């Protein structure tokens, strides 16, 4: 008697896998100029010219418009003088800036409604004028409307012109965490207008110098020695030297992104030196501690830890902390005394993805990545930081 076929005995179909692979090259200009909206300044028009005649939606940080009266009129006049390149779809919109504008999705929803009302499409340009937090929010809104509008950034702070405004990150804070919601979406152009720096509060102008110290310590010893030699002029925020510092800092950030891991697929984040505890301090202070100020404290803690572990000499650590103090940074805040350091490390690891990877200096101009920190040495470093002088050295 014929046996029924066993379904399991059917000839198996060989597995077929097709690998999809492609690269998306990206190139955008980072322009350094002054008086970007002067009718005779072609920097912005040149950056937009490759798009052909383009619809532009301008939006600005309220702090910038308050400090720069007549900005809306300047933007409108500029557009009228360059109407062959750009057409404003609306007058300049003004929204709140500062770290608080990143707290939750509220400002993103406002921007999405504005984009919809003005019928922006994926070929439209969102022109964002403001500080780093403001650019983060506008960038996220642009990246998530129609799966991506063209974004042109016009950073207005020391920090944004040298770091935040020239990179590829966008986002806002959620669940009490910095940048929990966000995207990697490069801008189509960046125009750094030094004129805006003159109307910044001194505290904000100074805060951005922390990023210059950061990138010098981990990547460029010569730059560090230049900052040290010129610390008096930098502490006084001498305009010419400040502009030179911003350009060199920006160049180092751009070179790192181009040669490294721009969308952060790995775990190492060299440019986040000083950020693991810096982010925790910002969160604990509700944004009262500025990003640059928090990073300065975070770098001080990490340098003392590196010295504790023999990764750098005491003299090298003293030189870094001395430069930060000379530039006017406080290296300790009462919130740091009560900070749960292990919890801060855990949150940072989660933010990075994968295993913990902490960038620490090995001397000045070099770095290493550690995947665990010694808790006792870390607590000793914090205690040492608490006992250091808060003010600049009298001998400087």
CATH assignment at residue 212: 1.20.1090.10
Q: Tell me if 67 sits within 8 A of 287, measured CB to CB.
A: no
Q: How far is CA 293 from the centre of its chain?
A: 14
pLDDT band at 150 (very low <50, low <70, confident <90, very high): very high
If you write DSSP's letter for every residue of 268-284 in order, what string do you get? --GGGTTHHHHHHHHHH
Select the more confidently predicted residue: 270 or 43.
43
- pLDDT tens digits along 86-138: 999 999 999 999 999 999 999 999 999 999 999 999 999 999 999 999 999 99
One domain for residues 49 and 179? yes
Residue 298 in domain: yes
Within-domain flag for 17:
no
Note down the domain range covering 332. 202-387
Question: How high is the pLDDT of residue 372?
Answer: 93
Same domain, 125 and 273: no
Tens of pLDDT along 219-236?
999 999 999 999 999 999
pLDDT the model gives residue 396: 38
Residues 287, 338: one domain?
Answer: yes
Query: Quick one: how far is CA 41 from the chain centroid?
Result: 27
Is residue 393 a contact partner of residue 325, using CB atoms and an 8 Å limit? Answer: yes
At which residue do the structure tokens 């919601």 appear? 181
Among 154, 173, 199, the domain-final residue is: 199
Nearest to 378 by CA among 350, 339, 351: 339
Q: Which pLDDT value is given to residue 11?
A: 64
For residue 21, what are its two tokens? 């692979």
Nearest residue to 297 (alpha-carbon basis) of 314, 316, 321: 321
Question: Of 182-186, 234-238, 262-266, 380-384, where does mean pLDDT reach its minimum?
Answer: 262-266
Please report, for the domain that includes residue 176, its CATH number. 3.40.50.1970
Q: Which of 182, 199, 216 is the last residue of a domain?
A: 199
Residue 91 has which token pair?
Answer: 């007058």
pLDDT confidence bin for 392, thresholds 50/70/90 = low
pLDDT confidence bin for 394, thresholds 50/70/90: very low
| Number of domains the chain contains | 2
Look at residue 155 and tell me whether its pLDDT is greater than 90. yes
Residue at a domain's end among 199, 232, 267: 199
Tell me the pTM. Answer: 0.89
Q: Are residues 277 and 375 in the same domain?
A: yes
List the beta bridge partners of residue 87: 55
Q: Quick check: 395 pLDDT over 50? A: no
Distance CA 43, CA 378 (A): 47
Close Cβ partners of 148 (under 8 Å, ≥ 6 residues apart) = 122, 142, 185
Q: Do 376 and 335 touch, CB atoms closer than 8 A?
A: no
């Amino acid at each position: 008697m014929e046996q029924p076929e066993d379904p399991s005995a059917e000839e198996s179909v060989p597995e077929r896998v097709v690998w999809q692979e492609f690269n998306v090259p990206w190139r955008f200009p980072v322009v350094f100029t002054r008086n970007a909206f002067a009718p005779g300044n072609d920097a912005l028009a040149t950056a937009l010219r490759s798009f052909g005649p383009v619809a532009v939606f301008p939006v600005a940080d309220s702090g910038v418009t308050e400090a720069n009266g007549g900005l809306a009129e300047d933007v409108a006049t500029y557009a009228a003088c360059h109407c062959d390149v750009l057409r404003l779809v609306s007058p300049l919109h003004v929204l709140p800036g500062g770290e608080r504008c990143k707290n939750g999705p509220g400002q993103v929803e406002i921007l999405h409604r504005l984009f919809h009302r003005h019928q922006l499409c994926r070929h439209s340009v969102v022109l964002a004028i403001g500080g780093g937090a403001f650019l983060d929010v506008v960038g996220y809104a642009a990246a998530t409307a129609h799966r991506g509008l063209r974004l042109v950034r016009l950073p207005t702070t020391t920090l944004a012109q040298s770091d935040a405004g020239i990179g590829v990150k966008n986002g806002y804070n959620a669940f009490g965490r910095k940048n929990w919601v966000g995207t990697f979406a490069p801008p189509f152009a960046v125009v750094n207008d030094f004129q805006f720096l003159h109307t910044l509060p001194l505290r904000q102008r100074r805060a951005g110098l922390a990023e210059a110290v950061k990138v010098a310590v981990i990547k460029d010893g010569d730059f560090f020695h230049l900052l040290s030699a010129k610390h008096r002029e930098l502490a006084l925020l001498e305009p010419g030297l400040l502009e030179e510092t911003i350009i060199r800092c920006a160049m180092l950030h751009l070179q790192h992104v181009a040669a490294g891991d721009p969308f952060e697929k790995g775990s190492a984040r060299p440019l986040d030196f000083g950020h693991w505890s810096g982010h925790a301090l910002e969160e604990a202070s509700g944004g009262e501690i500025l990003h640059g100020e928090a990073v300065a404290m975070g770098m001080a803690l990490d340098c003392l830890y590196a010295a504790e572990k023999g990764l750098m000499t005491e003299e090298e650590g003293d030189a870094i902390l001395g430069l930060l103090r000379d530039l006017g940074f406080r290296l300790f805040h009462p919130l740091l005394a009560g900070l749960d350091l292990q919890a801060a490390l855990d949150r940072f690891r989660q933010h990075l993805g994968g295993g913990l990877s902490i960038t620490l200096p090995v001397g000045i101009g070099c770095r290493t990545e550690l995947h665990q920190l010694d808790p006792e040495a870390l607590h000793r470093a914090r205690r040492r930081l608490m006992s250091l002088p808060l003010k600049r050295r009298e001998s400087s």
